[in-house]
Structure 1
């Protein structure tokens, strides 16, 4: 159930976006060792983005926000972040300053995530999967 929201400029080709979404999904699946990764691309016109108060194409620096269960492995987080940054750079190198891509990882304990009318901490399969992942 990890969710990625990637804020990028408009203008990437449909194929580049599809490849980006596939690559970031694979990176997250590898780190978490399960599927159900959701990706949203949020596209902005350069005049609607500012860096330090300056707007325009030079100010566009992609941002990726990951909302996911807790992941204790620092190495898994490092690898995942590097793969996400690489995928964004491949898709948006001509449109944004991809050397300045920020990947924010917000990790939640299972009791802070609800799904299908119950907390994830109430699902023994999910609890077991995260115990194995983080052991």
Structure 2
């Protein structure tokens, strides 16, 4: 159920995209023992990105959004973020300012996330996994 949205410039080769998306999925899988991790890649032409109101003023800085259940372990978050940043850097290093990639994490209580027609709080396997993770 965790979802990762990566927003970055156009131009990465398909093989590099696949490798990055696989690495991001693995990083999230390690932090969240929940199935159905999805990675969404949204690419933009450089002319569609402005920094401080200036188009093309500097290389695009990728931004990633993680939408997932609550995770209280700072150790798990840190390990996951380190791996996600490494994957984005490897894919976009020549096209973007990957040293300033931003990751924003939006965490939701299980009662505020529905999956497969049920609230996360109604799914015993998900409740158990999150409880174990956040113990």
Name the TM-score class by shorter chain.
Answer: over 0.9
Would you say the 8 A contact 2:50–2:57 is kept in 1? no
Q: Deviation digits for residues 48-101 of structure 1, max 9, x if unmatched?
A: 001111112724100000000111100110111111111000000010000110
CA distance in 1, matches of 2:28, 2:86: 13
CA distance in 1, matches of 2:59, 2:92: 13
Q: Determine if the alignment matches structure 1 residue 86 to structure 2 residue 86.
A: yes
**Structure 1 segments unaligned to the other structure (5+ residues):** none
Q: Which residue of 2 aligns with 1:56?
A: 56
**Structure 2 segments unaligned to the other structure (5+ residues):** none
- TM-score w.r.t. length of structure 2: 0.95
Which 4+ runs in 1 deviate beyond 4 A? none
Q: Deviation digits for residues 22-48 of structure 1, max 9, x if unmatched?
A: 000000001113432100000000000
Q: Determine if the alignment matches structure 1 residue 23 to structure 2 residue 12.
A: no
Q: How many residues align?
A: 135
Q: Which residue of 1 aligns with 2:96?
A: 96
Q: How does 1:1-135 map to 2 (within 5 A)?
A: 1-56=1-56, 58-135=58-135
CA distance in 2, matches of 1:116, 1:17: 28
Quick check: 119-128 or 98-107, which moved more? 119-128
- TM-score w.r.t. length of structure 1: 0.95
